């Protein structure tokens, strides 16, 4: 025979505390989700601009290198390209956006002065300098695009995780806890009525 386990007021109080905690967590997670979505759309706007500029800069650079190759000769272009030995220093770090660690990519010297490119000024032309500058600008935009788009991917992942937690609390955890609390409160009322009835019978 299964014995009827009577709930206690202590259990009800514990449940109410859990409901309060879950409600507070749900509210904080919703704020975090909304904040992340706002950050995502801000970065998306910047990323679209950077991507658009990158495409335009690449087309321009491609045209300039083609003009330099046509007028100065392909050997001159290849010689100038081979003269560049040192890659621009790129500092890859991180930053925090509402608890999400995202990349921070910085390079101070992608776009160089004409004297820093390695090829001799006597054997080069203004066309070659313009093409070199155009491609340096493209590299600079690629770094910015890489930072923005990687940040977007990480924010999207965190938004998805946060949405799942919000939904779990809203549609599963809180309704279950509330249902349990309501059931215990009802049983306690029944037990209290039974005790009052029993006391009246004893008095009689």
* Domain coordinates in residue numbering, the chain: 19-203
* Architecture of domain 19-203 in this structure: Orthogonal Bundle (1.10)
Say if residue 161's pLDDT is above 70.
Answer: yes
Q: How many CB atoms lie within 10 A of CB 143?
A: 17
- What's the pLDDT band for 82 if we cut at 50, 70, 90? confident
Average pLDDT for 154-167: 97
Top-confidence residue, 129 or 123? 129
Judged against a pLDDT cut of 90, whether residue 109 lies above it is answered with no
Range of lowest pLDDT (26-35, 52-61, 97-106) = 97-106
**Contact (Cβ atoms closer than 8 angstroms) between residue 169 and residue 33:** no
Query: For the chain, how many residues are written?
Result: 204
Binned at pLDDT 50, 70 and 90, residue 126 comes out as confident
Structure tokens at 117: 């490119």
Averaged pLDDT score across all residues of the chain: 88
Residue 122, pLDDT above cutoff 80: no
At 1, the pLDDT band (50, 70, 90 cuts) reads: very low
- Of 137, 114, 131, the C-alpha closest to 64 is 131
pLDDT of residue 106: 83
Closest to 149 in 3D by CA, of 12, 2, 44: 44
Q: Is 145 a residue whose pLDDT tops 50?
A: yes
Tell whether the model's pLDDT for residue 195 goes beyond 50. yes
Six token digits for residue 78: 């290849």
The pLDDT assigned to 180 comes to 94
Share of the chain above pLDDT 70, in %: 91
Res 66 pLDDT > 90: yes
- The Cα-based distances of 78 to 120, 132, 152 in angstroms read 13, 12, 37
pLDDT band for position 18 (cuts 50, 70, 90)? very high
């Amino acid at each position: 025979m299964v014995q009827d386990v009577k709930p206690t007021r202590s259990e009800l109080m514990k449940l109410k505390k859990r409901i309060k905690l879950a409600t507070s967590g749900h509210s904080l997670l919703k704020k975090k989700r909304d904040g992340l979505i706002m950050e995502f759309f801000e970065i998306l706007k910047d990323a679209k601009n950077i991507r658009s500029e990158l495409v335009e800069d690449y087309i321009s650079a491609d045209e300039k290198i083609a003009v330099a190759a046509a007028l100065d000769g392909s050997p001159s272009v290849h010689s100038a390209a081979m003269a560049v030995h040192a890659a621009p220093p790129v500092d890859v770090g991180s930053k925090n956006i509402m608890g999400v660690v995202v990349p921070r990519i910085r390079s101070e010297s992608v776009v160089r002065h004409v004297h820093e490119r390695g090829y001799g000024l006597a054997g080069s032309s203004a066309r070659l300098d313009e093409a070199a500058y155009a491609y340096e600008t493209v590299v600079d935009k690629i770094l910015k695009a890489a930072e923005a788009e990687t940040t977007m991917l990480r924010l999207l992942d965190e938004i998805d995780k946060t949405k799942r937690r919000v939904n779990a609390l809203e549609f599963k955890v809180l309704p279950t806890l509330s249902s349990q609390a309501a059931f215990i409160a009802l049983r306690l009322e029944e037990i209290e009525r039974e005790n009052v009835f029993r006391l009246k019978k004893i008095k009689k």
